[in-house]
Amino acid sequence: MKGLLRYIVTRIALTIPMVFVLLTIVFVVLRVMPGDPVSAFLGGHAPQSVIDQKKEELGLNKPIYVQYVNYLGQIARFNLGNSMVLDQTVWSAIRDKLPATIELTLFGMFFTLLIGVPLGAFAARNRRSPADFGIRIFGNVAYCIPVYWMGLMLQLVFAVWLHWFPVAGRTGARVVISTFSTTGFYVLDAIIHGNIPILLDVLDHLFLPSITLGIVLSGVFIRLTRANMLDTLKADFILAAHARGVPDRIVTYRHGLKNAFVPILTMLGLQFAILLSGAILTETTFSWPGMGRLLVERIYLRDYPVVQGVIVIFAIMVSVISLIVDLLYALIDPRVKY
């Protein structure tokens, strides 16, 4: 228990310099890029006196090291600052978009695991069979497909041609969000309020972007699951289980898959962190109002505080997810000690 507690404290302590380094890089890169928030906001047509006055109000006329020290002071007070182009705090901009990205990420990973892990295990169990070759081809193709192309194809087939699902957005035009949204997670809010029609509408809009992520990422998990299952199925305890007459299906999916799941869990944590940090192409393709779109929009506007705030939140969440994945190792594999 002491070893686990020490490990958690160490990982949390290491998060601080990681966020510091990442924030420093983003801070410098944003300010050496051409353009600035004032020019982007005013469109370059305002008099120079107005531009200079606005820069002074925002503190952009100060040396970059002074701006950096001031921003670090804000972060130390857990204050992400205010937007430079809109009348809102950085936290309010993130708070409005973060639930949409988390919701999309969770459902995307659900479809990823639903497709990738069973197919990979089935391919390993039936090695060198026609099904194995077919699954491996599917995995390679899925891994190579650009996510935006997959999204456009699914939109074309299931939204435009078949009219089974909506093209974009989180809800239909007739849904009044303020009547049911309390947490920002529309699926959860609809369940809490017991509103089945809204729940179905939300799931309807969530399906295509989620299955897009699921199909594209499933290629990684098919290959990883198959490779680890092949190694596990050669282990002595698997041969002993077969010798005792345990059915092949139970040996494969209950014993073999569980022991092969540690590297799969590692990849799950990494992919979940990547998805959480934007899924920018998917959000753009499906007009999904999440963190990815927010980041792209504010980069165009040179809204320094919002971009920096989004990066800070991403860094913290990636660290938290990595820590949770590491802790889950001990539950799956008792040999792991901290």
Per the rule left: phi > 0, alpha: psi between -120 and 50, beta: everything else, 168 is beta
Residue 111 confidence (pLDDT)? 92
* pLDDT > 70? residue 54: yes
pLDDT for 337: 62
Domains of the chain in sequence order: 90-332 (1.10.3720.10)
d(CA 269, CA 210): 17
Distance between CA atoms of 173 and 316, rounded to whole angstroms?
34
Q: Which residue has the higher pLDDT, 287 or 35?
A: 287
Supply the pTM of this predicted model: 0.84
> How far is CA 254 from its chain centroid?
29
**According to the model, what pLDDT value does residue 209 have?**
93
Q: At 324, is the pLDDT very low, low, confident or very high (cuts 50, 70, 90)?
A: confident
**Residues 6 or more apart whose Cβ sits within 8 Å of residue 283:** 101, 104, 209, 289, 290, 291, 292, 293
Which residue has better confidence, 99 or 330? 99
Q: What is the pLDDT of residue 334?
A: 61
Rg (CA), the chain: 24
Q: Read off the tokens for 293.
A: 């779109």
Q: Please report the pLDDT score of residue 265 as a whole number.
A: 77
Asked which of 145-149, 286-290, 327-331 is least confident by mean pLDDT, the reply is 327-331
For 143-179, how does the pLDDT look when each residue is reduced to its tens digit (9 = 90+)? Answer: 888 888 999 999 999 999 999 999 988 887 777 776 7
B/e letters for 307-326, b = 16+ CB within 10 Å, e = fewer, are: bbbbbbbbbebbbebbbebb
Return the amino acid letter for 47. P
